Amino acid sequence: MTQRVVVTGVGALTPLGADAHALIEGLNAGRSGIRALDKPWISHLASPLAAPVMSPVEEKFPKLRRLMLDRVAQLSLLATREALTQAGLDLSGEEGEQCGIYWGTGMGGATTLEHAYVESLLNQATRPRPTTIVMFMANASTGQIGIEFKIRGPSFTYSSACSSSAVAIGEAFEAIRCGRIRHAVAGGGEALLTQGVMRAWESLQTLAKPDPLQPECSCRPFSRNRTGFILGEGAAALVLENETTARARGATILAELVGYGNSTDAGHITQPDAQGQARAMRAALAQAGLCPDQIHHINAHGTGTLVGDVVETQALHQVFGPQARHIPISATKALHGHLMGATGAVEMVAALGALRTGVVPPTAHLNQPDPDCDLDYVTEGARQLPVLDQVMSNSFGFGGNNAVLIARRYHP
């Protein structure tokens, strides 16, 4: 028997603040988390801009615990703690065996790995810390979440670049839907604001050029004067459960997940493909049993790159036809930056926030319309919608992986 899958908790630690509420509030206010990065090596880069988490992180953990945690694991644990607290779910007993961990990350412990390389290559006599491997391995956050919250069911780590955490949520949804588990912690984390990573992205020529007058406005998705994205860091988590279990324990149900689509472009390792993106959106709609005109809001992938924004616009036209021009679309990376492996989960939290409040966030800094990007991108600021019952969130990654999630307002 297919189970209905509901969301009972969300958590987020982003450049806009220390919790999910701060994320939603910051987006609706049009507040940017993009700023000059305060690092000694920033002078080696063409741009000093990034979207760092400014909230306290390390001090949330005892010193001995920190010695085993890369920054990405710290961010991931804090987001998960918030989601589980909201869900009111205690996994230390038998329920922990019925809960899975589905976590996404693009680069894992980038800070630890870079530190190990710098120490080893600059000082041959220095030996990397014994904890190096277990801190930078891609599944470190997944393992630490299990340890911290006593989750003893299945665990999986997904790494598909920018779609990683959206894939994680989608696969958790499938596992609960078919009855393999009762609960799941799903989401992702990323902490890659290191010199090596940022220089590598800079060489790819995908990072936005700084606006000399308003640097915090440098990322402009779908705008004619867009030049790329701004790297950020953060984490977000969702607690998913089957409806029967959630209602039996009296949980507050925030929304229902109803659709997940995943496709592979099979064309180019970095260039997106509209047909591949359209396949993922159609698959999500089909699983949700929804027609295109039943989607009331879309959180777009919307990175701010010249090619990517046009391709996503084309894909939306393919899927939604004439209706595409009437769907309010938000590209929130303009404000929280591109969090790579964490971005799908962060944007899903944003989409669920819109679903709960009926207010969709703006696509900030879109000040020059692009004739090739001709949809309703909510440019006037946050918008109250008369009807908002179903939302879609798009995440498309290098390697050609496309992940699309659909949620709806919960009705028993």
- Amino acid sitting at position 385: L
The tokens of 364 are what? 């900030």
Which residue in 297, 301, 336, 365 is the catalytic one?
301
Which residue in 115, 183, 296, 338 is the catalytic one?
338
Which residue in 162, 217, 219, 373 is the catalytic one?
162
- Amino acid sitting at position 154: P
Exposed e or buried b for every residue in 202-215, given b needs 16+ CB within 10 A?
beeebbbebbeeeb
Q: How many Cβ atoms are within 10 Å of 270's Cβ, its own excluded?
A: 14
8 Å CB contact between 58 and 73: no
The verdict on whether 365 is a catalytic residue reads: no
The verdict on whether 301 is a catalytic residue reads: yes
Residues, the chain:
412
The verdict on whether 291 is a catalytic residue reads: no
Residue bearing tokens 């894939």: 167
Exposed e or buried b for every residue in 361-375, given b needs 16+ CB within 10 A?
bbbbbbeeebeebeb
8 Å CB contact between 240 and 186: yes
Within 265-304, strands assigned E span 297-299
**Residue 403's beta-bridge partner residues?**
262, 395
310: left (phi over 0), alpha (psi -120 to 50) or beta: alpha
Active site residues: 162, 301, 338
